[in-house]
Structure 1
Amino acid sequence: MDWDRAYANADFIPDGAGYPARWVAAATAFRATANARLDLPYGTGARHGYDLFLPEGTPRGLIVFIHGGYWLAFGREIWSHLAAGPLAHGWAVAMPSYTLAPQGRIAQMTAEIAAAVTAAAAQVAGPIVITGHSAGGHLSARMACADVALPADVAARITRIVPISPLADLETLALTGMNADLHLDAAEIAAESPARLTRRPGTDVLVWVGGQERPTFLWQARMLSEAWDCPWNVAPGRHHFDVIAPLTEAGSDLTMALVR
């Protein structure tokens, strides 16, 4: 099995290389008009910041979106437009960055996201829904795991977690060239693979994946669904780069899965 090919999303998406530039343009335009508090700190590190987008009036609750990039690339700034759908329903949306590999290990990123969720929760009252895409899907799923150190009052407010195209078991990632920077070993694979861990009691989870994604991502999503005995949704016609696009739409199935 060629695991590098299995995880090579852009190679199997028409104009896959052009997506990041379009994301940057859409996010920049959105931030120019949004009601936002940018660059809020949740720690002391260079990437320990988050952006908070606010709806009109008092927020109904908080949605946290965690970006992807195989824990190696991107930051919160190029996903701002994905807050549009939840904002239209009166939800605040927090988007954190986190330390990327090789400067950080995945276990460190998990702890950072827990800190970011805690900081954002202090800014917005009400229920919390956590979502994320790809590597961010992994990190959002980690927030549903019983071992993650969230304050009890914050954990109690988490009503739903929706991992999008998540990496649920990290073993095969260690067999790719990416592991030169990720440095995954057997201990971290066991400790950081959500499909091998216990879900926090009472945490509602819905796994989301695109129907046209690479087989490996369909397998990862299904594996998490089976491990946690939770539903999964296969979005027809969506590939790895456009599966998150419906978050810009107030009435999309994905947006409604977060704000229901």
Structure 2
Amino acid sequence: MWTGGEPICDYDRAYDNGGSIADAKSYLPRWQEEARAFRDALAAADRAELGLAYGEKRRQIYDFFQPQEEPKGLVVFVHGGYWKGQEIGNWSHFAKGALDRGFAVALPDYTLCPQATIPEITQEIARFLDEVAARDAGPIRLSGHSAGGHLVTRMLCSNAPISPATAGRIDRVASISGCHDLRPIMRTGMNAVLGLDAATARAESPALLEPRAGIDLLCLCGGAELPEFRRQNSLLANVWHGFGGRTRAVEAPGRHHFDVVDELIAPSSELLAFLTQTG
């Protein structure tokens, strides 16, 4: 676990995940190929609904995958990309773990910065959740990677812009290498695209907000990640534990920021067990 370190002198480097991974450029092409093959197989089996609208804007869409049997509940995965990149079509295959365990899986897209602000993206994810909640009557489990980890934990905050009915059905949330305090990100060059100011960073940082009562939160990152992501991972679990919910921070040994999402499809992973536990 993160236990402190040297002061941050270069914030861009501190948050440059790609720059810290030797074969970083190999991941996106491989993800795209595997995701395409996964979608094609599910579509052929009539178990995939692609590009469903939850709003009027171009990127307000989601993909929905059905298990072979009656769903035990719904698992949501929100992609990352620092709120300014990526799309759901690169991540479809990470639904396999939850599908194989009998859960439906939904992956939303959202408008990216600078076309949307981070508060507006928060609103979009909330709107998506209220929309997709009507698809299944079972429990809803949220997961998200990096910026997606921020967005799903934002949905646990007491002031999250989701309906009380939807909030009441979200019984487990997993933040995978999430960004939970946005203030340091204001010091990076990418803030020229994100447009964060001090007030917005505070208002949108889960670590500076109060959670709803009775939360069950798992914060997971890779043991080989950048120190800032290991710190952010520990931060939220520690802060929110004081509000009485169930929280824990876990590091997957040897995993870095890009391969830590493989824990979603690793049959014996703690992450997959957490998201699909029943009874």
Is the structural similarity TM-score above 0.5?
yes
Where does residue 6 of structure 1 map in the other structure?
14
> Structure 2: how far apart are the matches of 1:5 and 1:198?
30
Where does residue 255 of structure 1 map in the other structure?
272
Selected match of 1:149 from 128, 144, 161: 161
Q: TM-score, normalised by structure 1?
A: 0.98
- Cα offsets for 1:73-112 (capped at 9, x unmatched): 0111110000000001100000000010010100001110
Where does residue 42 of structure 1 map in the other structure?
54
Selected match of 1:135 from 139, 142, 147: 147
> Structure 1: how far apart are the matches of 2:260 and 2:235?
19
1:29 paired to 2:46: no
> Structure 2: how far apart are the matches of 1:249 and 1:207?
17
> Structure 1: how far apart are the matches of 2:171 and 2:263?
21
Where does residue 163 of structure 1 map in the other structure?
175
CA contact (8 A) 2:174 2:271 kept: no
1:98 paired to 2:106: no
| Equivalence map 1:38-117=2 (5 Å) | 38-117=50-129
**Secondary structure of 1:221's aligned partner:** helix
**Secondary structure of 1:33's aligned partner:** helix
- Cα offsets for 1:149-205 (capped at 9, x unmatched): 211111111111111101010011000010000000011011000000000111211
**Secondary structure of 2:71's aligned partner:** coil
1:213 paired to 2:225: yes
Q: TM-score, normalised by structure 2?
A: 0.91
Where does residue 119 of structure 1 map in the other structure?
131
Instruction: Give the unaligned 5+ runs of structure 1.
Output: none
AA paired with 1:231?
A: R
AA paired with 1:256?
A: A
Q: Displacement, 1:252?
A: 2.5
Q: Displacement, 1:248?
A: 2.2
> Structure 1: how far apart are the matches of 2:269 and 2:250?
13
AA paired with 2:222?
A: G
Q: Percent identity?
A: 47
How many residues get paired? Answer: 260
AA paired with 2:185?
A: L
Q: List 4+ stretches of structure 1 deviating above 4 A.
A: none
Instruction: Give the unaligned 5+ runs of structure 2.
Output: 1-8, 242-246
Q: Displacement, 1:246?
A: 2.3
> Structure 2: how far apart are the matches of 1:206 and 1:246?
13
**Secondary structure of 1:254's aligned partner:** helix
> Structure 2: how far apart are the matches of 1:250 and 1:100?
32
Where does residue 15 of structure 1 map in the other structure?
23
Q: Displacement, 1:119?
A: 1.0
CA contact (8 A) 1:41 1:50 kept: yes
Q: Displacement, 1:71?
A: 0.5
**Secondary structure of 1:122's aligned partner:** helix
- Cα offsets for 1:188-244 (capped at 9, x unmatched): 011000000000111211111110000000011111111111211111110000000
